[in-house]
Structure 1
Amino acid sequence: MSAPAALPAEPLVLRDDEGGIATLTLNRPQARNALSRALMEALEAELAAVAADESVKVVVLAAHGAAFCAGHDLKEMRAEPGREMYEALFSQCSRLMTAIVRLPKPVIAKVHAMATAAGCQLVASCDLAYAGASARFATPGVNIGLFCSTPMVALSRAVGRKTALEMLLSGRPLSADEAEAAGLINRAVADDELDATVAQMAGTIAAKSPLTLAIGKEAFYRQAEMPLDEAYAYASQVMTENMMARDAEEGIDAFLGKRPPVWQGR
């Protein structure tokens, strides 16, 4: 008698689309959604797919299980030690975080539990983030002799230097309320209000012109790294190009005509 066929493995990232909102859910609950190389590859592939999908206006990043994301998969890292593997791993992770920032659609993190190390980096890399009251955020690599240097890049761009360094040097986790006060997340809400809060914000953003969202997101990150005069010169050029778009004409005409706009994405 032949052995029963093995059941296919569940996808590492689940995708659900509704109303112009694509929800990407990390699906390694048994490993606290640790960022294995396979999970990072799957998430990067899904991000590329939604980038090319004109029906998607907003992306929500969520997770299954007892943790939002526990950072890198330490067991995987120690199973194949060596400079070549470490360089490839951290390069892959950096590429994933950069893909979130450069995605021409807003990305909202929905954090229901602990986000540590590269998991905290994932939250900091998203454009917006909302968390349940029981969520916690930490960069505790210092506790195991591995300073969270790559998470530091996103973290230090999301919060003030003193907060970032305290998290990095001590490993102390922030509560959801502390994370809100520090600017790591937009808002901390009751755990049972998290889904509704994120859905409302995602729906509000999804109703905007997709072209305008893409222009604005790219411009925000580019100008943030520029000196003041250069930033204003760049932003002025962006606004000029934006004014030439059909959606800008439609939006202004609709406002003046006291009617809802009809976006064309051009």
Structure 2
Amino acid sequence: MLYTAEQADSLPAGGFRYLLTSLNDHVFAITLNRPQKKNALHPSMLTELAFALAYAHYKSDVWLVVLAAEGDTFCAGMDLKSLSQGDGENTTVPAPTGPVRLGELMTELHKPCIARVQGPVYAGGFLLVGGSTYVVASEVATFSLPEVKRGLFPFQVLAVLLEIMSARTALDLCLRAQTLTANDAKAVGLVTHVVPVGELDNAVADLVAELKRYSPTAMQFGLRAFQQLKSLPSSEQQAFLYEQFQQLQQTPDAKEGMAAFLEKRLPKWG
């Protein structure tokens, strides 16, 4: 994380400049709010995203994250002009301790993240979608990596795609800059749910309600272990997972879950 727990203990008093946030019944909503620029990511917005994700990571009251966007475009990718020239703005949050790399920020969240995709996703926007646990997309949403048309290549996106789909499919998306429909994106694993435009909010709400029935601690342990497994040799993975299970058994959620099972009642988490 680019912020400590102390730094990210509270959100900026005056709010973010390029994000809208809310915390309601353990669900932290982060909404990209630069619609006039199609939610293109520039340095100030990236810094705010890093801070908001750190807040969600550290706050025990946050069980789930919903990532959404204002306007007709989910995210147009990186704002290349601002990234090359800087935006010269005073940030609403402290400076991060290092460069903001969205792919890393998403994997460090360790809490279920639902991307609510209402419109097109381009280029670096794939890092937000690919890094989410679930992607609920409107049937009119589209997905495209146009970097090669500009003499560039989506290097960081490629790394995210390789965890979701076959290498040939990921490379083809990067090399031919084709536009995927929402159903195409679901077929290759980039999207998890495709719904009609008018059902997008209900679909997200239904998924949130389902996830909230289960142990937030167990899900956080599992998501963290999933990321940690990637750096462990296969000979050490089972011992690591056994230790994780032993630790999880000692948590209040595990004890509550077992008690509820034996008493034939619904568990009360947190």
TM interval, short-chain normalised:
0.7 to 0.9
1:182 CA displacement? 0.7
Cα distance in 2 for partners of 1:78, 1:165 equals 26
**How do 1:35-114 residues align onto structure 2 when only pairs under 5 Å count?**
35-79=41-85, 92-94=99-101, 96-114=102-120
Identity of aligned residues (%): 33
Count of residues in correspondence between the two structures: 246
Q: In the alignment, which of 164, 175, 179 is matched to residue 158 of structure 1?
A: 164
In the alignment, which residue of structure 2 is the partner of 1:26? Answer: 32
**How do 1:113-262 residues align onto structure 2 when only pairs under 5 Å count?**
113-224=119-230, 226-262=232-268
1:75 CA displacement? 2.2
Cα distance in 1 for partners of 2:147, 2:247 equals 44
Q: Which moved more, 1:251-260 or 1:47-56?
A: 47-56
Structure 1 stretches of 5 or more lacking a match?
1-7, 81-90
Cα distance in 1 for partners of 2:237, 2:78 equals 35
In the alignment, which residue of structure 2 is the partner of 1:4? Answer: none
Q: Which has the higher helix share?
A: 1
- Does the 8 A contact of 1:121 with 1:152 survive in 2? no
**SS of the counterpart of 1:99?**
helix
- Does the 8 A contact of 2:135 with 2:193 survive in 1? yes
**SS of the counterpart of 2:221?**
helix
Structure 2 CA distance for partners of 1:9 and 1:206, relative to 1, 3 Å = closer
1:210-248, CA deviations, whole angstroms, 9 ceiling, x for partnerless residues? Answer: 221211110122224545443222212211211122221
1:9 CA displacement? 10
- Does the 8 A contact of 1:141 with 1:147 survive in 2? yes
TM-score, normalised relative to structure 1: 0.86
Q: Which moved more, 1:130-139 or 1:241-250?
A: 241-250
**SS of the counterpart of 2:52?**
helix
- Does the 8 A contact of 1:224 with 1:231 survive in 2? no
**SS of the counterpart of 1:108?**
strand
RMSD across aligned C-alpha pairs, in angstroms? 2.0
TM-score, normalised relative to structure 2: 0.85
